[in-house]
Amino acid sequence: MVRLRASGLGGLASLLLLSSVDAFYIPGYSIKSYKTGEPVPLMVNKAYSDSTQLQYAYYDLPFVCPPSEHPKSLGGLLSGKNVPLNLGEVLRGDRIRTSDIELIMNKETHCKALCTKELNADDLRRAKEMIRDTYVTEWIVDNLPGATSYVSVDKTRKYYASGFKLGYSELSPSTGQTHYYLNNHHTIVIRYRKAPGKAGDRGENIVVGFEVYPKSIGNGSKRDAERCPVDLQHVEHALELHMGPNTTTDTAPRYSDEMLLQTERRSFDDDSESGTLTVPYTYSVYFREDNTIEWSHRWDLYFVNQEDGARIHWLAIVNSLIICGMLTAIVMVIFARTVNSDIKGYKETMESKSRGKRVKKDVPTGLLDQGGDGLDADLSDTEEALEDVTGWKQLHTDVFRAPQRGYLLAPLVGSGMQLLFMALGLVLLSALGFLNPSFRGGFISVGVGLFVFAGVFSGYFSARVFKSFDGKDYRKNAMVTALLFPGLMFGLVFIVNLFVWAQASSTAIPFGSLVLIVVLWLCFQVPLVYAGAYYGFVKAGGWQHPTRTTTIPRQLPNHAWYSKSMQAVLLAGLIPFAVIFIELLFVFQSLWQNKSGYYYMFGFLAVVSVILVVTIAEVTVVTIYIQLCSENYHWWWQSFFVGGSSAVWIFAYSVWYYMFKLHITGFVSSMLFFIYTLIACCVYGLLTGTIGFLSAYAFVRRIYSAIKVD
């Protein structure tokens, strides 16, 4: 089991407790033990980089050893066989296949030849490009990714970075030309310990660590009959990716800064079109017993800087609680003093007006009485009462007037509730440890399943909002709800996928997976949306409004600059953005900047998410109250936009992050970054916009149900 951080929030005023929780393993990922002499399968997956969003299946690379597709000497899986993948693994670009590398438990191999690969000019150019973009390779043993081992600066901690480099480059100080070297020897270190229970009594072992140390060994190094280097510790020459005549000397003149780009371009194009470069691939295998690593904690080494990250997360939570606490105080003031005093004053004014009318009716009139004084007194009392009734109370006949384009707002709210239930399930399962790095692709697979199942909530809430807007045809509304948001997202992903397909990248979603997604969408989600819509529209019905709406709408007065729609939306979005800013930094680093690491602070994320929901609800309530006080009753869409407005700031932050923090190269990679960021911001905005809308709806119904209207 994987030990993950989990956190709970007992309330905004309660003490936050962070505890370590042993995560549950998904069936199929239980402990696997190996007998001495038993084969340990090694899988190859993909190559990926922090400098680009394009991933490539390992066996699709033209400069690596292709699978022999022959059975191994001691049995096991056939070389090159595709490993069955779940939907999440496919969508994240995994392409796992068995390799020709043989690992036998407790049998060390000093050196063994894997293959000899002949590279032409195109293969060399491709290898140079991937080395320039700092691609790393992922191999897998016992569900653990092959890692590069590092030691902290103070030399007190050891940690892993998933993957290992394809090669490296060096800049010649004399010529300014970049030289590229390919890693063609891999030293594999398997760390193991005695298996627990009866398996350990039988002498079986479990794998607790998988390290890979790549090395570049040139053809000039001495090799034995099997093409293995004679001395792996002292390598004379590295394997440079170069076929043309090398005229570089140490006495050559230095290149000027203006010529660096030209020499960089020549380093890719100076290889002759004819001829090949012979690359011998070899590997070594060593087994090391390590009793310091528990099997349940073997993933901890992949979680870099846990202690430092925990401190920063605590600061983020304190920062979020301060902001949320201030907003809570403001909302309490609005409810306890302003709204209650307004309601009390309104009731007193109406009661005074009613008593005045009854008194006037009892005054006797004779022939000499003209009756004008009594009428003037009634009008004077009415005008005085209306002068006292100002602000939001004057809108009781218009505040629940159906919004323009309500047929779009209802489906958006329904889709937002669908995303809310999906996000709630993902964060909860991740915080409890069910979704962890050992369940490869589990986060995406479970997310897709939750989204499809949550279609019933989408239809239910969309139908109830639609009926509250006096909608009639719930079937049409259900169709729009089921197709609008998922259809737009699918279309956008499909268009982007065409560009990725053209790059022959494993990031591209296979056609079969696209068909599966369409089947899940149309054959499962759409019926669930209709079922929820029927129950919400026919059985539950719309929400009842406490006041009646007049036929003629009220004219809107002029508003202050800060209460106008666009300004209010942007200003309100800054507060939720400030709540999640620090946590957002960790998420961005994990997604874009440090793909070799893993995001593991789901307990903190759950706490920050709860604070975010409360903050969005309070910000929306305050904003809508200010808008109603300015006698503007167009609050339906405004509440939705205010709730989701922090998505605008997140996207703006993403643009800044791309320009100043990332080093993404290539048009397709940049397009992937912005399109996927846009999709994520739309999902976030739809979810938080729904929270804001429902919070404002509950607030408005509450305050107008407290006033007495004749």
Q: For residue 291, give the DSSP letter.
A: T
Residue 216 and residue 183 in contact, taking contact as beta carbons nearer than 8 Å:
yes
β-partners of residue 704 are: none
Helix (H, G, I), strand (E, B) or coil at 79: coil
List all residues 6 or more positions away from 226 whose beta carbon is below 8 Å from its beta carbon: 111, 112, 113
Burial class (CB in 10 A: 0-12, 13-18, 19+), 341: exposed
Q: Both 587 and 508 in a single domain?
A: no
698 occurs within a structural domain: yes
DSSP-assigned letters across all residues of 11-52: -TTSPPEEEEEEPPPPTT-S--EE-TT-B--EEEEEEE-SS-
Instruction: Indicate whether 615 and 515 sit together in one domain.
Output: no
Domain presence at residue 61: yes
Global pTM reads 0.84
pLDDT given for residue 152 in this prediction? 72
Residue of 385 and 56 predicted with greater confidence = 56
Residue 600, pLDDT above cutoff 80: no
Q: Is the pLDDT of residue 353 over 80?
A: no
Within a domain: 362: no
Residue 653 lies in a domain: yes
Average pLDDT over residues 263-282: 67
pLDDT at 416 over 90: yes
User: Residues in the chain, how many?
Assistant: 710
DSSP state letters, 124-182: HHHHHHHHHTT-EEEEEETTEEPEEEEE-TTSS-EEEEESEESEEEEE-TTT--EEEEE
Residues of the chain by 3-state class (helix, strand, coil), percent to 5: 50, 15, 35
Question: Could you give the CA distance from residue 118 to residue 133 in angstroms, rounded to a whole number?
Answer: 23
Residue 288 has pLDDT above 50, yes or no: yes
Instruction: Tell which wins on pLDDT, 313 or 437.
Output: 437
Name the 3-class secondary structure at 449.
helix
Same domain, 560 and 510: no
pLDDT in tens, 630-671: 888 889 999 999 999 999 999 999 999 999 988 888 899 999
DSSP β-ladder status, 147-151 and 158-162 = antiparallel
Shared domain for 507 and 460, answered yes or no, is yes
CA distances from 282 to 45, 100, 213, 227 (A): 19, 11, 12, 8
Portion of the chain with pLDDT greater than 70, in percent: 80
- Residues 311, 293 share a domain: no
- Retrieve residue 119's tokens: 């590279």
In a domain, 228, yes or no: yes
- Residues spanned by the domain of 648: 306-345+390-400+555-709
Does 171 share its domain with 115?
Answer: yes
- Give the mean pLDDT of 424-439: 89
Residues 526 and 600 in one domain: no
pLDDT tens-digit readout, 141-185:
999 999 988 887 777 778 888 999 999 999 888 888 899 999 999
Same domain, 520 and 606: no
Each residue's pLDDT tens digit, 94-149: 999 999 999 999 999 999 999 999 999 999 999 999 999 999 999 999 999 999 88
Distance CA 639, CA 621 (A): 8
524 and 663 co-located in one domain: no
Task: Give the residue with greater pLDDT, 597 vs 508.
Answer: 508
The answer to whether residues 92 and 161 belong to one domain is yes
DSSP helix/strand/coil, 644: coil
194-213 pLDDT, tens digit per residue, is 999 898 999 999 999 999 99
Q: pLDDT band at 359, cuts 50/70/90?
A: very low
**Total domain count, the chain:** 3
Pick from 491, 476, 481, 453: nearest CA to 675: 491
State the pLDDT at residue 611. Answer: 93
Q: Is residue 565 part of a domain?
A: yes
Residue 105 pLDDT: 94
Task: Find where tokens 């998922």 sit.
Answer: 486
Residues 128-143 pLDDT 10s: 999 999 999 999 999 9
